[in-house]
A and B are shown apart, each in its own frame.
Chain A
Amino acid sequence: EVQLVESGGVVVQPGGSLRLSCAASGFTFEDYSMHWVRQFPGKGLEWVSVISWDGSDTHYTDSVRGRFTISRDNGKNSLFLQMNSLSSDDTALYYCVKQMAETAGNSFDYWGQGTLVTVSS
């Protein structure tokens, strides 16, 4: 059974930093691209970032590029999101999401339960 378990979400002050983690199990983690998707309090979904199976290729949505860094540790079946210079606009539930297959043209299949990041003074 595929499981994705996020952690690291807390209340942080504007300008602060945070590192989210996602522990993966039930599949061969190193074979798949992984994503972070966030859901704002108003319920809208926003794709945040993707990392290729080996970590060599990463992409970000414009609003987080230069502030967030996605990474992975295939030896520990873990995905990470380093978040810097946080603002209230980053307040959201952050999901770790598995891509269906490594090749282009594949969407998501499994989602974690999410970890809540609240940016507030």
Chain B
Amino acid sequence: DIQMTQSPSSLSAFVGDSVTITCRASQGINNYLAWFQQKPGKAPKSLISAASSLQSGVSSKFSGSGSGTDFTLTINSLQPEDFGTYYCQQYNSLPWTFGPGTKVDLK
């Protein structure tokens, strides 16, 4: 199975800050990498697929990049509604696997 790691595991930021989350796969996954946002008590929401393609309706403040094994999610101008936990996921090969998550909270 492909193992996914994320860093940092948590971060604190001010409203208006920009933050970057890193995701690494244990082997190459081409660009088959998705990002999800989850708020407390809610289901995950799909943000990005194919490493950098925004899902329909997702704000352009979110951007993704990378290929192979190393990927990043950047969130610009953080707003209160952006706080939550972010997960990456590879769908290059079964079983699809998720990273452990990065919790973004208010400083």
CB <8 Å contact, A109 and B46: yes
Q: B89 in the interface, Cβ–Cβ < 8 Å?
A: yes
Secondary structure class of chain B's binding surface, majority of residues: loop
Interface residues of B in 16-40 (CB under 8 A from A): 32, 34, 36
Q: B85 in the interface, Cβ–Cβ < 8 Å?
A: yes
Q: B95 in the interface, Cβ–Cβ < 8 Å?
A: yes
Query: Given the complex of chains A and B, what is the CA–CA distance between A113 and B101 in angstroms?
Result: 19
Given contacts A45-B44, A112-B43, A113-B43, contact A107 B34 (CB under 8 A): yes
Query: Given the complex of chains A and B, what is the CA–CA distance between A83 and B46 in angstroms?
Result: 26
Query: Given the complex of chains A and B, what is the CA–CA distance between A95 and B87 in angstroms?
Result: 15
CB <8 Å contact, B43 and A44: no
CB <8 Å contact, B89 and A46: no
Report B91 CB to chain A, min CB distance, Å: 5
Query: Given the complex of chains A and B, what is the CA–CA distance between A45 and B96 in angstroms?
Result: 10
Residues of B within 8 A of A (CB): 32, 34, 36, 42-46, 49-50, 55, 85, 87, 89, 91, 94-98, 100-101
Between-chain CB contacts (< 8 Å), 8 pairs: A43-B85, A45-B87, A47-B89, A47-B98, A107-B46, A108-B34, A108-B89, A109-B55
Assuming A47-B96, A61-B95, A107-B32, what are 15 further A-B pairs, CB within 8 angstroms? Answer: A43-B85, A44-B100, A45-B89, A47-B89, A59-B95, A100-B49, A105-B50, A106-B49, A106-B91, A107-B49, A107-B50, A108-B36, A108-B46, A109-B49, A113-B43
